[in-house]
Structure 1
Amino acid sequence: MSDILGKLSRLVTARPWVTIGVLLIVTVILAAGADRRVPIVDGTDLALLPQDGPIVEAIGEINDHFEASGDVRLVTLVFRGAALTPEGLSQMSGLLGGIAAEPDIAMLLTPTDAIFSPAHLIQAALGAENLDAVSQAEIDAVSAAPEIAPVMGALTGTDVDGTAVAIATVRLRNTQDERVADAERRIAEMATSDEGPLQVSSVSPIVVEDEYKQATEDGMAPLIGVALLLIAVLILLFLRTLSDLMLALVGLLLSIIWVVGLEGWLGPGALGVIGPPNALTALVPIIIIGLTVDYAIQVVSNYREQRATGVPVIEAVRSGMRHVVIPLMLAAVTTMVSL
């Protein structure tokens, strides 16, 4: 093994540009795998749990009892303002009518109880064709009727800031593809752009997911930037030269590219050797960042120590390759494989 490491170290120092070229080619190939990474799939974390354990059994029982609910996606529209007025109910009815008239949404509406709202309830109770001619007195009378008041109480209320709110629901068939996701996004667009006395917003699984992803992306970018800046400052304070800092940061960048690229090439989007990402595999790049910084400090420190004792540059590099760099690379590979 020592002879192999010695020959490899001599090859690297004798042909440095070849080594850099090989690293560049490998990096480009692996970077192409980043586009093949698949998103985290719900439920993949269950594979990490004991299949005969109580958690997996409990989740299975829940799925068995509530399997039918998975066939429906519920979109909740929140109307802020005086909804139980002729103007408010007209706006509500118009928006919901527009949603039902959208072809891409209409095809996904459930056969029964697809849309339910205070406007529909009052219109049905009054037997009116529309709400344009309904008076405030009629609305108040219907809302206070014993058989309607409990339902109306569940659909209306007051926000924490004292603003009156009302909700309406739209039930969509869960096709488990982009059609239902696009329908939910379209409903959200129509709600936020709707004009009238009421301020309308939409709450649905895809809207919550989109907002979560956006918030995560917006929050992670500055966090990663601050982390890299802090790492750079610490490395500079420890190594004290810009060249060593740049070498450490280049190694850090290459490590991230290699890990993300390998995950893409080996994942379901390419070779299918490994499964889809989960909460644990998402931590791998973070672990690699820590290991890379640690290894970079060890490599540079070893090189500086040898140079301080008068060892020539080539010999210092070869010695570092044999005794530090390659062993650390093997340690990093075994760490990635174990994860």
Structure 2
Amino acid sequence: FIGKYSIRNPGTEKIYLSFIFPYPMKQGEGMLRNVKLLVNDKEDIENTEYQQNLILWTGLLEPAQSLEMQVQYAGRGLNHFIYGFAPGKQINHFKMKIDVLGSGSVNYPVSTMTPTETTDTDEGTTLTWKLNSVLTQLNIGVLLPDRINIARQISVMTQRAPAFFLMFLASLCIILAISGYPLNFIRIVIISIAYFLFYPLFAYLSVYMNVVLSFILSFGVIGLLIFNYSRVVYRLNTAMANAAAYTFYLGITSIATLLPTYTGLILVIEGVVLLAIAMQVLSQHRDIKISEIFGRPDAAKDEKDDPCAGGKNDEAM
């Protein structure tokens, strides 16, 4: 937010001026950062107080003197933005522009006036209010629903999906090689399809329900599908390892995307944990080679460990 205010003393005597700007949020709601009050393009630290609920500037204004006040801040976690006017005061030469990113439709809070101009852009919607010689009890405001930010985060999530999927696929191949299973193309394709179905499922559910609930439901359903399928065609230990890989490469990375403030920290911690797991596993399988990961173990072990193969032998008997 950047608000510019021009103040002029029209009298012949100097006046004592108090400029008060209340913060646009309630206690425990959202967060403001980079809050600044500029007086004639610079901060007046001596006469400015940044209080819990407002900014206060006090000073003397000489006759015919003008001041240019500018309020700046960036908001986070707010579900709406409302700009209020002093009740019973005429509004002159007022202009405000709000850019709402990632949304094709915009809603407004109760008791607020609609914009005088609405423009659709490539990034969202631009709202403009131009008021002159207006007397009103209404304020200016716009609702900022969670789905706007979620839509952007889901877009980022899907852009990163191929890279994390390749890591998941590599881990899946290593798990199967260590477990002594051959790389069965059809089985890997089925697991891969289930993996990618998480994204459209989460995207559609987030439209109709809470984001946290939709993520838990999507992640849980797809995870159960992958775990149960792996349990049927492989051993239980292999299924648990596949589920762990799914959690690391889809679950944790998705959470990191949904929490952009902590994305770097989450991914770094995840990388350290994955490295520790890889070092531990490879230390127990020192003789494993890359060719073995993409090769086919001997048929005897395959038939012994594969429950599907065992079922065929039983039928033959």
Q: TM-score, normalised by structure 1?
A: 0.31
TM-score (norm. length: structure 2): 0.32
- The structure showing larger relative contact order (alpha-carbon pairs under 8 Å, at least 6 residues apart) is 1
Greater fraction helix = 1
